[in-house]
Amino acid sequence: MAYLLDGNNLIGTVLRVSRPEAADRQALVAEIAERLRRTRAKATIYFDGPAGASSLGALTVRGSGPGGADAAIVRAVAEARVPVEMIVVTADRELSRHVRDAGGKVSAPADFFRRFGKAGEPEAPSPGRVDVDEWMKWFEDEANRNDR
């Protein structure tokens, strides 16, 4: 699954900013990159503006070029080898309709952020090494059995 993020819409939804500035974009990009850092998920975030792309780990940041971010997102879904594997994260109803018409899926921003946790949230601790011999001895000990 590939995630395509409607950057300006997310800024409005998450940061409650109607006219995003460069600092708002940077804050959102940093937040999402940190959330994706612990996963195998990849995402591309689109912003209105000059065409271009840069990568920050699992996150690619794209300027849409002429036509705007919405058109670039719909084009990416339509041109995907398997459009149904493209998940667009937006609260924009019109964009959502166009994405579905192109064969993609849509996710609400809240669902995306819930799925990828909070930035800076510690990873779940790993169980570490397990001493199999120690466990085998424990299970072989009659005092530890409940099957009497």
Pairing status of strand 52-56 against strand 59-63: antiparallel
> How would residue 147 be classed by pLDDT, with cut points 50, 70 and 90?
low
Please tell me which residue, 4 or 140, carries the higher pLDDT value. 4
Please tell me which residue, 131 or 64, carries the higher pLDDT value. 64
- How high is the pLDDT of residue 19? 77
Residues 6+ apart with CB under 8 A from 124: none
For residue 63, give the 3-state DSSP assignment: strand
Would the pLDDT of 128 be above 60? Answer: no
| Domain limits, the chain | 2-123
Average pLDDT, the chain: 85
Considering only 19-23, 42-46, 89-93, 119-123, which range has the smallest mean pLDDT?
Answer: 119-123
Buried b (16+ CB within 10 A) or exposed e, 41-65: bebbbbbbbeeeeeeeebbbbbbbe
Q: Which two tokens stand for residue 73?
A: 């997102």
Q: Provide the whole-model pTM.
A: 0.77
Would the pLDDT of 146 be above 90? Answer: no
The H or E element containing residue 56 is strand 52-56
Question: Per CATH, the architecture of 2-123 is what?
Answer: 3-Layer(aba) Sandwich (3.40)
Residue 1 identity (one-letter amino acid) = M
- How high is the pLDDT of residue 141? 75
Q: Say how far apart CA 74 and CA 79 lie, in whole Å.
A: 9
- How high is the pLDDT of residue 13? 83
- How high is the pLDDT of residue 111? 93
pLDDT digits (tens, 9 = 90+) for 5-58: 999 999 988 777 777 788 888 989 998 998 898 888 999 999 998 888 998 889
> How would residue 124 be classed by pLDDT, with cut points 50, 70 and 90?
very low
